[in-house]
Amino acid sequence: MTTMTQTSARFREFKMPDVGEGLTEAEILKWFVQPGDTVTDGQVVCEVETAKAAVELPIPFDGVVHELRFAEGTTVDVGEVIITVDVAPGSEDAPAPAAAPAQEPVEAAPAEGPKGRTPVLVGYGVAESSTKRRPRKGAAPEAAAVAAAVQAELNGHGSAAPVAPVVPQAPVDAPPVGRPLAKPPVRKLAKDLGIDLAAVVPTGKDGIITREDVHAAAAPVAAAVAVAPEVAEPVAVSVPETPATVGSARETRIPVKGVRKAIAQAMVGSAFTAPHVTEFVTVDVTRTMKLVAELKEDKEMAGVRVNPLLIIAKALLVAIKRNPEVNAAWDEANQEIVRKHYVNLGIAAATPRGLIVPNIKDAHDKTLPQLAAALGELVATARDGKTSPAAMAGGTVTITNVGVFGVDTGTPILNPGESAILAVGAIKLQPWVHKGKVKPRQVTTLALSFDHRLVDGELGSKVLADVAAILEQPKRLITWA
């Protein structure tokens, strides 16, 4: 969806679009352009990560980049302006391109510049910001000095002189300065402790206020409150020259956002909405492994990857064909069971950004070579982080291969909106009774979780038993299909 506004005939704004299905926010992973760069219609200007995938955003008009509103790593609501473009460059009234945003869009402290020149605000250019902020109390002179020094460096006016940390002092009447640099968790901590960030001396890199800085500023307040009623001894408080590392060495706090946030919400919603039942079966897959080895040499399978997951996927599709009632969804709003006459087979994939579940559309209609090609493409796209939101929508059942990690099996949680998920354990050489004798055989354990609102125990057992029977005797792929 293309989202843009036109503030004048000269400048056009491009807003964060909803690149998925009803998504409300996205994180800017990387900017491919900077202020002053020329862009053309359809050119990719940035990469964003939604709750479902990483997506590249093309801009829908030509011009010169005037302003980037947000820095990399910032989570932006859908509908927020992220970039402005000068579509008529060269006009006499053209303001200079705004500087690229720093770690967080901030307002700069007033600074003297060349005569007749309006100081450039990082992330906002010379244009007046439409964002309304409540007035702040005067900040300590030391905080103003730090902010001014850091801002000079960020604006490219020369290296800022090192600013030594100083002891926090009570705020005095002074002109308002720019918004202090601090991450959202630190801002929340300051709010909880009743600390004005404008009065906190930053010791972090590039003038960023850390949790230790907030605690240091709160110490005098806490000490004053905790003074005994009979004896009031003065408490000396000083700011360490470097941020404390004791806490950071023992704990690391990672913001929950993007794919991880979506995973958490989906798993909690699924676990506490659909009544899960999990059944297990251990099966001899020696014949399946022999079939895999033979298919690798088959010229019809040339150019595609053949592995046990391919045969397991085909076995599940045959089991669903024999037990079609399992392929359904629960419609809570209408109080209906929706039977699906197609199978969009989900494959859980571990990626650097977290777990995603893209699915193979209409997997039930594919031949074995077609299914192998689709599996290979799905896995490669997921590993590259290029899976689209559409590829993860509309799944009906899922396979999760925990065996690749050496795990025997597990109790998988349903992907929201789906009726069943099959977990495949590691295939190991184990002693097994075969034709009346104990022999070493290749064995694995399967686990099928299903929504008990949709699937009774009998139906779930039949599906799992059919999958196991096919893997034990792969010729059933022919006789049953």
**Residues with catalytic function:** 452
Q: What is the 3-state secondary structure (H, E, C) of the chain?
A: CCCEEECCCCEEEEECCCCCCCCCEEEEEEECCCCCCEECCCCEEEEEECCCCEEEEECCCCEEEEEECCCCCCEEECCCEEEEEECCCCCCCCCCCCCCCCCCCCCCCCCCCCCCCCCCECCCECCCCCCCCCCCCCCCHHHHHHHHHHHHHHCCCCCCCCCCCCCCCCCCCCCCCCCCCECHHHHHHHHHHCCCHHHCCCCCHHHCECHHHHHHHHHHHHHHHCCCCCCCCCCCCCCCCCCCCHHHHHCCCCCCCHHHHHHHHHHHHHHCCCCEEEEEEEEECHHHHHHHHHHHCCHHHCCCCCCHHHHHHHHHHHHHHHCHHHCEEEECCCCEEEECCCCCEEECEEECCEEECCEECCHHHCCHHHHHHHHHHHHHHHHCCCCCHHHHCCCCEEEEEHHHHCCCCCCCCCCCCCCEEEEECCCEEEEEEECCEEEEEEEEEEEEEEECCCCCHHHHHHHHHHHHHHHHCCCHHHHCC
Intra-chain end-to-end CA distance of the chain, in Å: 42
Give me 318's structure tokens: 């045959």
Contact 111, 151 (CB under 8 A): yes
Strands ordered across the beta sheet of 38-39:
4-6, 11-15, 81-86, 63-68, 38-39
